[in-house]
Amino acid sequence: MAEIAAEAGAGTAAIGAPFGLFGEWFAAAAAAEPDNTNAMTLATATPDGVPSARIVLLKGWDERGFVFYTNLGSRKGTELDGNPRAALLFHWKALARQVRIEGAAAPVSEAEADEYYASRPRLSRIGAWASEQSRPLASRADLEARLAEIEARYPGETVPRPPFWSGFRLTPVRFEFWEDRPFRLHDRRTFVRAGAGWRTGLLYP
């Protein structure tokens, strides 16, 4: 699929072409900088267009989209509830590459959220209960007290998923693959959703 993307100038790409190219770039990034491969900037906005961005971790992806998890009451959670349009940015410095992805985010299924939550370390699951993410915190001591309270509530390995904690899947409608070239003559290739397939093209650097 990467060969299709590399050889096409502008036109229609195979249905899975951008995902195949993303997979190849993601695998190369995992080899080059394994500590940061799945770190991505997530940009969201309020219904009236006020933007915000932060680094989150990609927890799964396939041709349905790109998945991340959060407290639903966090700033990103509430913004996505009011305005599902969002953007992702992967930057792999070691490869001098970045990928921009745009689309709409929707909640993952309860089963998906349960499965991922159960795979997390116990203290991470405890932390999901204790943190009122994005809300004001009077002191670190208050957070530690909440952690102790939740640990006492769930002393064993079984810690249920909080009802306010789940995931989102961003379904792409646009990709841009950017690769560094000498003298700022970078390579920029786009894939834009067109029915069941993708329309591909190039951008001036």
- Tell me phi and psi for residue 187, to 5 degrees: -95, 125
Residues with a catalytic annotation lie at 184
What is each CA distance from 131 to 18, 58, 74, 89, in whole angstroms? Answer: 36, 20, 10, 26
Residue 5 has pLDDT above 50, yes or no: no
List residues bridging with 169 in a β-sheet.
67, 106
pLDDT for position 3: 32
Given CA atoms 177, 180, 181, 183 in this order, what sign does their dihedral have? positive
Whole-structure pTM value: 0.90
- Domain boundaries defined on the chain: 2-121+164-202
Q: What's the pLDDT tens digit per position in 152-191?
A: 999 999 999 999 999 999 999 999 999 999 999 999 999 9
| Measured distance CA(67)–CA(57) in Å, rounded | 9
Architecture of domain 2-121+164-202: Roll (2.30)
| Contact between 161 and 150 (Cβ < 8 Å) | no
| Measured distance CA(167)–CA(5) in Å, rounded | 30
Instruction: Output the six-digit token pair for 92.
Output: 């792999």
pLDDT for position 36: 87
pLDDT for position 8: 40
Buried b (16+ CB within 10 A) or exposed e, 77-103: bebbeebbbbbbbbbbeeeebbbbbbb
